[in-house]
Structure 1
Amino acid sequence: MALGARPLLWLALWTLAVPARSSREDADGGWRRPGPGAPAAVTEEEHCTVERRADLSYAEFVQRYAFSRPVILRGLTDNSRFRDLCTRQKLLASFGDSVVRLSTANTYSYQKVDLPFQKYVEQMLHPQDPISMGNGAGSGVPFHWHGPGFSEVIYGRKRWFLYPPEKTPEFHPNKTTLAWLRDTYPALTPSTRPLECTIQAGEMLYFPDRWWHATLNLDTSVFISTFLS
């Protein structure tokens, strides 16, 4: 399911929570990763096929990527202050009483549920199976496209699948990305597979206009996306 919120300023939050606390919680801002007993979720791809750049000038970005292909940007800015504001404790303190809207992220379903953000975080995060639009392990957004955009991971990891505008992916609009990964992805030939990569905390993905993309969250994930049109 997709999370929309009143004044969350385009902040999108997806979590894979387990009851037990772990030693990694502080590093992950309190957004816990699945523990050893948690149901298995998706993993990172075998080979990232999106370029990573840490030394990209504006001129090179425009020339090589802005209108033609995705790129992962890393180490360009210090987001430590924003990261500190996005811990579980601070987001609940700031927005716990705010009403957020859960809605299915697929194309043809429009069911919406309004509830307090604190209830969403504390009661509705659980591992997701491939046939449901849940809020836990394997949650994400099925294939869609829009204008160009940037998506930066603040906590956790987010796996992306991308196709250029001229290559419409094979997918069912009412099935989750997790179901697509299980049922369709294994049968794809090398020439029909998408570009794919897992975005780590502190990295930002740029995708050009009208590129198809789908996502899966591998851990507790807090990310912020900005669309240019």
Structure 2
Amino acid sequence: MEEYCCVLFTVACFISLLSVQSENSHAKSALTADGGWLSTRSSSIADEGPCTVEVRDQSLTYSQFIERYAYSRPVIIRGLTDNTKFQFQCSKNSLLQEFGDRMVRLSTANTYSYRKVDVPFLEFVEHLLRPQSLDMLGSDTLYFFGDNNFTEWRSLFQNYVPPAYALPGTSGAYSFGIAGPGTGVPFHWHGPGYSEVIYGRKLVPVPPEKAPNFHPNKTTLSWVVDTYPTLNQEDRPIECTIHPGEVLYFPDRWWHATLNLDTSVFISTFLG
């Protein structure tokens, strides 16, 4: 397998109360700063770590994006889209009211995931959405991300505003997910796209210029706690904390892993 650069991103949510229109004021009063998800910090992660990913604002032009980042390196772009309405609809109460009785498909959170489990969304939220223990294996961790029925979830996805910068000849496909503190997907790679956190914080590691050294059935949490501190400085991953209002772009076939530092609600736009 060829070697690709890798990145570690902590997608951290700067949680703020949503600004909603006056006709939604009754719903606003019930909305907490974390959307009702009770975003609890993972007890195994002391802080968010450094940011070694370049950060740009909305003044970045499309031609600059293509020339500097699209095919070569990740970038975080601030203020590119406004997803206030989508964030409101992703509050815990809103999602449970709309989708509580729907079935969702969970996957095992290891690099070569094969096992799938179907459960009602309400059962997942109320009973399975819990902090990850440090000694749990990826094959025993169920993770909700990507296996979305687009017919059933259309009412939610139609209100998401994706990043405007697409790659020539591609179109976007959404993968939506919710995960508890300490959970995450271990190292893997795929095509290019964007990642945005709606609530919570997400950490994503990728070592530079080579494939990362990792056990395919160990969780990202165990890698960050046990392996990351032992790495030489030159082997440390590119990493950053991403806040709401920021979008992370990742190029094609870059190794990366994710780690949710809180209960997180997130969406990725894959450019295929």
Mean Cα displacement is larger for which, 51-60 or 103-112?
A: 103-112
Deviation at 1:45, TM superposition (A): 3.6
Q: Select the structure with the greater relative contact order (CA < 8 A; seq sep ≥ 6).
A: 2
Q: Which runs of 5+ in 2 are unaligned?
A: 1-30, 143-178
Corresponding residue of 1:7? none
Matched, 1:143 2:176: no
Answering whether residue 116 of structure 2 is matched by residue 72 of structure 1, we say no
Greater percentage in strand: 1
State which drifts further: 181-190 or 132-141: 132-141
Aligned residue in 2 for 1:190: 233
**Alignment check: 8 A CA contact 1:53 1:71 kept:** yes
Superposed CA RMSD in Å reads: 1.9
Look up the SS of the partner of 2:259 in the other structure.
Answer: strand
What is the SS of the residue equivalent to 1:131? coil
Match for residue 52 of structure 1?
A: 55
1:44 Cα deviation from its structure 2 partner: 3.8
Q: Which amino acid aligns with 2:194?
A: F
Is residue 100–residue 120 contact of structure 2 (8 Å, CA) maintained in 1? yes
Distance in 2 separating the partners of 1:163 and 1:186: 13
What is the CA-CA distance between 1:109 and the residue it aligns to? 4.4
Residue of structure 2 in register with 1:206 after alignment? 249
Give 1:16's aligned residue: none
Query: Alpha-carbon deviation of 1:106?
Result: 1.2
| Candidates 37, 50, 60, aligned match of 1:31 | 37
SS for the counterpart of 2:88 is helix
CA–CA separation in structure 1 for the residues paired with 2:33 and 2:225 = 31
Report the 3-state secondary structure (helix = DSSP H, G, I; strand = E; otherwise coil) of the residue aligned with 1:168.
Answer: coil
1:1-229 → structure 2 map (5 Å cutoff) = 26-34=32-40, 40-54=43-57, 55-132=59-136, 133=141, 136-163=180-207, 166-229=209-272
- Shift in Å, 1:195: 0.4
Q: Distance between the aligned counterparts of 1:147 and 1:108, measured in 2?
A: 16
TM-score by length of 1: 0.82
Q: Deviations over 1:146-181 (max 9, x none)?
A: 1001011111111121245x5100101111001111
CA contact (8 A) 1:156 1:201 kept: no
Deviation at 1:66, TM superposition (A): 0.5
**Cα separation, partners in 2 of 1:212 and 1:30, compared to 1, 3 Å:** same
| TM-superposed deviation, 1:131 | 2.7
Over 6 Å off, 4+ runs: none
Structure 1 segments unaligned to the other structure (5+ residues): 1-24
Mapped contact 1:109–1:174 kept (Cα < 8 A): no
Indicate the SS of the match to 2:98: helix
Determine if contact 1:45/1:196 at 8 Å carries over to the other structure. Answer: no
Looking at structure 2, the residues matched to 87 and 98 of structure 1 have their Cα atoms a distance apart, in angstroms, of 17
Conserved? CA contact 1:163–1:211, under 8 Å = no
Work out whether residues 44 and 225 of structure 2, in 8 Å CA contact, stay in contact via their aligned partners in 1: no
Partner AA of 1:30 in structure 2? G
* Aligned-pair CA distance for 1:65: 0.6
- In the alignment, the residues of structure 1 paired with residue 135 and residue 105 of structure 2 have an alpha-carbon distance, to the nearest angstrom, of 21
Contact 1:96–1:117 (CA<8 Å) still a contact in 2? Answer: yes
What one-letter code is carried by the residue in structure 2 that aligns with 1:51?
Answer: E
Residues 1:201 and 1:41: Cα distance change in structure 2 (over 3 Å):
farther
